[in-house]
Amino acid sequence: MHLSVELRYPAAVPVVGTMLADEEFVRWRAARSGGDGARVEQVDVTGDAVEGFTVTVRRTLPTDQIPAHVRSFVGGQLEIRQAEAWEPERDGERSGTVSLEITGAPVRLTGTVTLSPDGDGAVERYAGEVKASVPLFGGAIEQAAAEAVRAALAAEEAAGREWLAR
């Protein structure tokens, strides 16, 4: 299933790129975007905003927002591993790759992420494929996973906007 999400920030690409490469921000954002019962297990940022950077986050989320018929495939909590590898800024834009894996569940997201100027701010665009390797129920699981990813990214956008407003 294809997934496309846009996040908008009221700051220029270099400012947003610096925020996305800040380990303190990444940890804070991860804690805020998981909802009640979420735990941030690990945050790693290597590199820097100028040369390019990689962000890895491992967190545990409750499954209470996942439809009941899908919950039996993933259990009472989800361990999510997310990695983003960002290239240096070129011509006013940044691009990279993203992968998200739900450990113990047959679900994976792979795709690209870009950060581009948008009016007075910047837009971060995620585009990728959500795949579930479960016969018969794959489509339902992909749909539930895509909705969970959209909700998490919306929470990350809100956290980023709040961080920038400080």
The CATH number of whichever domain residue 22 belongs to comes to 3.30.530.20
Which whole number is the average pLDDT over 5-25? 97
CB neighbourhood size of 77 (10 A): 15
Give the model confidence (pLDDT) of 28-70 as tens digits: 988 887 666 678 889 999 999 999 999 999 988 766 656 666 6
The strand pairing partners of 79, in sequence order, are 60, 103
Q: How far apart are CA 130 and CA 114, in angstroms?
A: 18
Question: What residue numbers bound the domain in which 27 lies?
Answer: 2-165
Global confidence as pTM: 0.86
Give the model confidence (pLDDT) of 67-83 as tens digits: 666 656 656 667 789 99
3-state secondary structure 55-71: EEEEEEEECCCCCHHHH
Q: How far apart are CA 29 and CA 16, in angstroms?
A: 13
Could you give the number of structural domains in the chain? 1
Helix (H, G, I), strand (E, B) or coil at 81: strand
